[in-house]
Amino acid sequence: MMHIIPALLSPAQVRQCREALESAPWVDGRLTAGHIAVKAKSNLQLAEDDPVAVRLGEFILSVLAKSPYFIAATLPLRVLSPRFNRYEGGGAYGNHIDNAIFSVPGSPDRVRSDISATLFFSDPDEYEGGELVIEDTYGTHQVKLPAGHMVIYPGTSLHRVTPVTRGTRYAAFFWTQSLVRDDGDRALLLSLDRAIQDLGVAAPDHPALSQLAGVYHNLLRKWSDT
């Protein structure tokens, strides 16, 4: 399922990140593209070990760790450090599906990209084009969100970024390996989680609440890999 997590970052946090991004040393995004993706990709990225990328990446990870919506929707096992891209002057990224497995720099760990995420650092009126177009079994979604908002979507999705024909589009992107690899199973757990939260408000003393919470945990136990 695709989810939009609004206002993950406050306007002040976006401003601070933007200042750092605007003066960072950008490099050709094709340096990190595989041999198929390289033909489709035309953007700029920060090197993974760039100090700005490392610092902002750690900051975003700390925000994600406190986001109930992100945690409930992704059930994260491992979150790869965010990367950063910049599109301008007609830059685009044609249709592709992200790599399935990523290695963690400086460690033997690998992360399966169950969930892709894009966190926007430019407001929609700052640039023309630059829509993230995601195709899933329910059709095509065009995503262009205010700065500080984030979209998450299944890593299995075909997606692209349309050419940025005016202005500059800054974003962070990263992948999450979920405790529950199946997108449909995760969607069921999120739906149950939300129903339990609502019931907790409407009928906090109802005995069925603890039964339902037990069902949630037993399904999570059944479906999760650690």
Candidates 80-88, 94-102, 139-147, 191-199; binding stretch for Ni ion (CB under 5 A): 94-102
Nearer to Ni ion, 97 or 212 (CB): 97
**Residue 132, C-beta contacts closer than 8 angstroms, at least 6 positions apart:** 118, 142, 143, 144, 151, 159, 160, 161
Alpha-carbon torsion, ordered 40, 105, 83, 51, to 10 deg: -130
Tell me: does residue 98 bind Ni ion (CB under 5 A).
yes
For residues 36 and 95, the answer to whether their CB atoms sit within 8 Å is no
**Whole-angstrom distance, CA of residue 84 vs CA of residue 173:** 6
Rounded to whole angstroms, what are the CA distances from 173 to 11, 60, 99?
Answer: 19, 10, 13
To the nearest 5 percent, what fractions of the chain are helix, strand and coil? 35, 30, 35
User: Site for Ni ion (CB under 5 A): how many residues?
Assistant: 1
The least distance separating Ni ion from the CB of residue 218, rounded to whole angstroms, comes to: 35
**Residue 192, C-beta contacts closer than 8 angstroms, at least 6 positions apart:** 212, 215, 216, 219
The least distance separating Ni ion from the CB of residue 78, rounded to whole angstroms, comes to: 18
Nearer to Ni ion, 7 or 158 (CB): 158
Candidates 72-80, 82-90, 97-105, 176-184; binding stretch for Ni ion (CB under 5 A): 97-105
Nearer to Ni ion, 63 or 133 (CB): 133
The least distance separating Ni ion from the CB of residue 30, rounded to whole angstroms, comes to: 14
Nearer to Ni ion, 98 or 135 (CB): 98
The least distance separating Ni ion from the CB of residue 212, rounded to whole angstroms, comes to: 37
Nearer to Ni ion, 80 or 189 (CB): 80
The least distance separating Ni ion from the CB of residue 217, rounded to whole angstroms, comes to: 33
Distance of CA 75 to the CA centre of its chain: 13
**Whole-angstrom distance, CA of residue 199 vs CA of residue 194:** 9
Q: Residue with CB nearest Ni ion?
A: 98
For residues 116 and 153, the answer to whether their CB atoms sit within 8 Å is yes
Tell me: does residue 136 bind Ni ion (CB under 5 A).
no
Nearer to Ni ion, 10 or 95 (CB): 95
**Interface positions with Ni ion (CB under 5 A):** 98
